[in-house]
Amino acid sequence: MRVWVVLFALVAGLLAGCEDEPEGQKGPNTKPEPALAARFAPLVFLANGESHLPMDATEYARQSSLWFADARCDDVEVAGRVEPQKLGKGPDLYRSSRCTSVAVNDTDFPAEDTGFFLRPPESTRTGQGVGAPAYWEYHEHEGKAAYLYWFFYGYNKSVNVHEGDWERIAVQVQGGKPTAVTFYGHGRTPCALPWESQQLAKIDDHPQIYSAKGSHASYPDTANLSYDRRSAGTQWNTWERLLPVEQEPWFGYRGWWGPQSWIPFNGFNGPMGPYPQRGLNVFPEKQCDEKEPEITAQLPQAFEGEWETRDPATQKPESKPYHMRVSLAKDKSTVRYRTTWTDSNPKLACDGTWAATAATDKFVQMHEQIVTTSAGDCVPEGTVNLTPDGDALKVVVRGGRITMTAKLYKRTEPANEQAGALERFEEYLHAVGNENLDVVCEIAGPGAKKAEQKGFGPCRTTMPIMFKMFSPQQKAALRTATVDKSQVIEKPGVVEVPATAVRAGSVKFTSSNLGDYTMTLMNGKWFVTD
């Protein structure tokens, strides 16, 4: 796939409670009591097998570079190695002067897809362990008060993968006594659990919190969801190294703590960290025992079907225009990238698979894996985000340093259905040239099954033998081969393709060295059946 990177992959998918809520509940205020902050600080249980541990946010920032993403131009590096005080406390705060002139603590940016982000080295992903600090701040709103606790991890490796991971909970208090705990779950609105709830275990006045493996979302128990698994593993006594967040050198930084992904759905956008006067839903009316639909890894039925672009995809950094065709199904989803569907020598020709990793009825995230590249240069893998947009699907694909956006519309096959058959057959030829056994056996599955019933071996045994029968020159020619439509014989639901119809430059194919083929429409898809 051709796609992206600007990466904004910090986000994730499902980041737990890293989204802002409406303004109006802000902090820190002027009445914090450090002794109470320590008294109510949570006991966090990291999940068994957790390999991405808590980390000192200052040290993470110090090891990172600072970048500025601007919707109007390419990302620009602001600082090769960050000085944490220049993120927030100053003096001499970092600024971006390319395309947009703003400082790291500015509150207004000219466009939605604009902002600072940190890019850390891979060495920060493992974190530091339970000796890392937790952070606290005090909030007060309409007679209510709370101590908010922040936990930082260098890496989120769950459904969504991203650098930099801020998580939080809040302990609501009244008259110096705890009354409830606020949780921020993955893809869910914040909710409160009463202090006396039997679901909330405590040691003295420290609520027990369970951090989900990989995602680090905080929960009051070990009841597992399909995407968040938690258990009572390593114990993190956060009060043993609890720091007031407003005294941190970076406090004031309003950017993202890792490459960012722009996903228009609550709970999926990557986290900013704590900063002055950040609007947070610390005192939600919603109770945590209310049921909400879970995020699943199943493709919703409304997304299924054959889709294609009408206008070329837009890519950052810019590239030559190209199009997409996507087949979305519960069992298997595929994608094709082409500069053109008619030119026998496209500048870009890549085929791949998409696998759902997180989905609701309003959003799907998928992992892209490019299987075949016949022309051009395609990023091997990336993250796909799909959201409904009227009668279309908005798609954002990010991988490497490329970000691609496009709109997909339901595809209408030609009345004679020939184009779909030949497109599928060309995909088969390219896969043969690349010795891509998965694609070859998927398209030729029905035909291979017939051969197996006649005494031949299964597809995955016989096809490698066929690959060896072609010369290197023939394989290279098949990787970009096209079909001469004038030689094709079309019948209802069947298209016959003679070997002489295959156009592969100076290389000629015949019935004896390639064979003649029959394509049959089965359950809405074309297959090689003979």
Higher pLDDT, 14 or 135: 135
Backbone angles phi, psi at 243, to 5 degrees: -115, 140
Whether 114 shows a pLDDT value over 80: the answer reads no
Q: What are the tens digits of pLDDT across the range 76-101?
A: 899 999 999 999 988 899 998 777 78
Whether 492 shows a pLDDT value over 80: the answer reads no
Half-sphere exposure of 265 (CA within 13 A, CB side): 26
What pLDDT is attached to residue 173?
96
Least confident interval from 169-183, 259-273, 290-304, 420-434: 259-273
Q: Residues 459, 465, 468, 474: what is their CA dihedral angle, to the nearest 10 degrees?
A: -40
Identify whether the C-beta of residue 266 lies closer than 8 Å to the C-beta of residue 18: no
Q: What are the tens digits of pLDDT across the range 240-260?
A: 999 999 999 999 999 989 875
Element containing residue 438 per DSSP (H, E): helix 437-443
Angle 382-386-389 (CA atoms, 0-180°, nearest 5)? Answer: 150
Least confident interval from 211-220, 257-266, 434-443, 491-500: 257-266
What pLDDT is attached to residue 493?
72
Closest CA to 313 of 303, 305, 304, 323: 323
Whether 517 shows a pLDDT value over 60: the answer reads yes
| Region of residue 462 (phi > 0: left; psi between -120 and 50: alpha; otherwise: beta) | alpha
Higher pLDDT, 516 or 17: 516
Least confident interval from 179-188, 395-404, 411-420, 438-447: 411-420
Averaged over 142-157, what is the pLDDT? 93
Whether 73 shows a pLDDT value over 80: the answer reads no
Whether 29 shows a pLDDT value over 50: the answer reads no
Longest dimension (CA), the chain: 89
Whether 154 shows a pLDDT value over 90: the answer reads yes
Half-sphere exposure of 149 (CA within 13 A, CB side): 29
- Helix axes of 459-469 and 445-453: crossing angle, nearest 10 degrees: 100
Q: How many other C-beta atoms lie within 10 A of the C-beta of residue 318? A: 8
Q: Which two tokens stand for residue 82?
A: 């960050």
Averaged over 328-342, what is the pLDDT? 86
The listed range with the strongest mean pLDDT (168-182, 298-312, 489-503, 515-529) is 168-182
Q: What is the DSSP letter of 471?
A: -
Length of the chain: 530
Place of tokens 């002139």: 101
Whether 392 shows a pLDDT value over 70: the answer reads yes
Cis peptide before 271 (omega within 30 of 0): no
Q: In whole angstroms, what is the distance from residue 386 CA to residue 363 CA?
A: 6
Averaged over 378-384, what is the pLDDT? 89
Percent of the chain surpassing pLDDT 90: 49
What pLDDT is attached to residue 159?
64
Instruction: Please provide the distance, in angstroms rounded to a whole number, between the alpha carbons at the two ends of the chain.
Output: 31
The partner residues of 360 in beta bridges, in order of sequence, read: 363
What residue type is assigned to position 3 of the chain? V
**Residue 210's pLDDT band (cuts 50, 70, 90):** very high
The listed range with the strongest mean pLDDT (80-89, 258-267, 463-472, 485-494) is 80-89
Q: Which two tokens stand for residue 275?
A: 């900063």
**Residue 71's pLDDT band (cuts 50, 70, 90):** low
What pLDDT is attached to residue 525?
79
Averaged over 485-511, what is the pLDDT? 87
pTM: 0.59
Least confident interval from 36-40, 222-226, 390-394: 222-226
Strand ranges (E), 205-313 = 206-211, 218-219, 235-237, 242-244, 305-309
**Residue 266's pLDDT band (cuts 50, 70, 90):** very low
Residues 6+ apart with CB under 8 A from 423: 325, 336, 341
- Look at residue 396 and give its three-state secondary structure: strand
Residues 6+ apart with CB under 8 A from 377: none
What pLDDT is attached to residue 152?
97
Averaged over 203-207, what is the pLDDT? 94
Identify whether the C-beta of residue 373 lies closer than 8 Å to the C-beta of residue 480: no
